[in-house]
A and B are shown apart, each in its own frame.
Chain A
Amino acid sequence: MDVSKKTDVSLVGLLDLVEASSIASIKGTVSGILSLISDPATSSFDLVQLIEVDPPLTAKILRVANSSYYATSKTISDIQQALIWIGSDTLKEIILAQKMSELYRGGTPVHGYSRLQLWRHSLAVALLAKAIYRREFGEKGNNAYAAGLMHDIGVIVEDQLLPQEFMQLVQAMEDTPQSLSGSETSFLGYDHCLVGMGLAEKWNFPDELMDGIGFHHNPEGAREEHRMFVKTIFIADYLMFEQGYGYVPVKLPDREILQQYVGDLGLQWYALRAIVALVREELGKIEQKGYLAV
């Protein structure tokens, strides 16, 4: 390992850079919507208030709500109507996705990495994690959706704020297949899990989500009460990479670990396969409708 390659920017320094960068512009809306997602008792008026102060976001949400993907019979012209016709849970997901997508604009694809691919991956993991919760655990899985969408937020932070180092480490992965965390640690001294968890802590994300972001490559490190949740994110992340919804040429961890977590959650392979097929179909529809565009 060539130590001279390491960046001068420490993890704390990088998190400070985030606060001064355009990434911080999503902080208010994202933190607000995440706390609404994790607290089902909030009123719909909090939701309306949160987004009405952001007219471009409101416009985007209405466009998505009126897209053929949600196919409501009625034209939705304000957030109140969206709330009624597509429901507050779905609306929260749209808001989170639309606000998050702002971070994935621009950038040039290099060495098998692109921001669009990363966004596509995040959305795929979000949908799969949620579907596992719904179909297998019989729960709504809104938090799983949020964690799926945000689990790699550390990657986009590195891409945006340490572009040179990030391109180098992606290049290194292309040359020698290895895990993303491994490559990040050798180039930066920390990985996207640590960056994401630091950000989640700084921005006061709910604990469950913080663990989902920080330990999605190492669920055993998460707090006991969140371990099943984080394992679900791990499984969704792993399976989506395997299914071609990755964003860098990674070397995936041993399948044995995956097998173990699938067993821990009491999942059966044929059940998982059915859910993955369903999510792939969903993603196909989303891509076809152009809903993925950032």
Chain B
Amino acid sequence: MSNSESDLRGRIHELETQVRHLGNELRLTREEYEEAASKYLDIYFNLEKKISERTKELDAVNGMLLGEIEERKRTEAEKEQLIARLQKAMQEVKVLSGFLPICASCKKIRDDTGYWRQIEEYISKHSEALFSHGICPDCSQKLYPEYHAELQRRIKAKK
């Protein structure tokens, strides 16, 4: 084999080696690329999953907050109703706490229409009070002198 022929063979060997080396590098790089791509997708889908989980959580919290707002609104309305009732009651109390024109003799009361009413009728209409009729000792002596003495004696004996 001549010198130039063996040089040429050597060169061919070198080139073949280079081709083999580059072939291996190419295959490994391709594998690494595929691996990286799949890792990237893993991370991407994980992120998507996290976002949807977080959105669900936020929705739940949102729902809870809306419920709380409703609850507060209802409480507020109840409070207002209560205040209105109280105000009305106070107004009614005021009617009875104002000046009442009363007859010095028969004790009838003049109402806002100018009509004179029995005291029981007037108070019953303007307050929650109810009347139960009886007779006081002075009036019983004046009106029923014949029964009065006997009545007083019985009351004393009972005591």
Q: Is B159 an interface residue (CB 8 A)?
A: no
Q: Mark A114-155, 1 if CB is under 8 A from B, else 0.
A: 000000000000000000001111111000000000000000
Q: Which residue of B lies closest to A86 (CB)?
A: B36
A271 touching B17, Cβ below 8 Å: yes
Interface residues in B1-50 (C-beta closer than 8 Å to A): 10, 13-14, 17-18, 20-21, 24-25, 27-28, 31-32, 35-36, 39-40, 42-43
B18 touching A84, Cβ below 8 Å: no
B36 touching A84, Cβ below 8 Å: yes
B28 cross-chain contacts in A, Cβ below 8 A:
134, 138-140
A274 interface neighbour in B10, B14, B31, Cβ under 8 Å: B14
**Chain B residues bordering chain A, tally (CB within 8 A):** 19
With A and B bound together, what is the CA distance between A234 and B22 in angstroms?
Answer: 24
B42 touching A270, Cβ below 8 Å: no
A275 touching B39, Cβ below 8 Å: no
Q: Is A163 an interface residue (CB 8 A)?
A: no
A134 interface neighbour in B17, B24, B40, B43, Cβ under 8 Å: B24
Q: Mark A269-294, 1 if CB is under 8 A from B, else 0.
A: 01100110000000000000000000
**Chain A residues bordering chain B, tally (CB within 8 A):** 20
Q: Which residue of A lies closest to B24 (CB)?
A: A138
With A and B bound together, what is the CA distance between A140 and B25 in angstroms?
Answer: 9
A274 touching B21, Cβ below 8 Å: yes
Q: A134-B25, A138-B28 are in contact. Are A268 and B43 (CB under 8 A)?
A: no
Q: Is A88 an interface residue (CB 8 A)?
A: yes
With A and B bound together, what is the CA distance between A134 and B39 in angstroms?
Answer: 22
A-B residue pair count with CB separations less than 8 angstroms = 49
A263 cross-chain contacts in B, Cβ below 8 A:
none
Q: Mark B126-156, 1 if CB is under 8 A from A, else 0.
A: 0000000000000000000000000000000
Q: A44-B42, A44-B43, A268-B13 are in contact. Are A87 and B21 (CB under 8 A)?
A: no
Minimum distance in angstroms from B43 CB to a CB of chain A: 6
A84 interface neighbour in B20, B27, B39, Cβ under 8 Å: B39
Q: Which residue of A lies closest to B33 (CB)?
A: A87
Q: Which residues of A contact B (CB under 8 A)?
A: 43-44, 80, 83-84, 87-89, 134-140, 268, 270-271, 274-275
Can you sample 29 A-B contacts with CB below 8 Å? Answer: A43-B42, A44-B42, A80-B43, A84-B36, A84-B39, A84-B40, A84-B43, A87-B32, A87-B35, A87-B36, A88-B35, A88-B36, A89-B32, A134-B24, A134-B25, A134-B28, A137-B24, A138-B24, A138-B27, A138-B28, A140-B28, A140-B32, A270-B10, A270-B13, A270-B14, A270-B17, A271-B20, A271-B21, A274-B14
Q: Which residues of B contact A (CB under 8 A)?
A: 10, 13-14, 17-18, 20-21, 24-25, 27-28, 31-32, 35-36, 39-40, 42-43
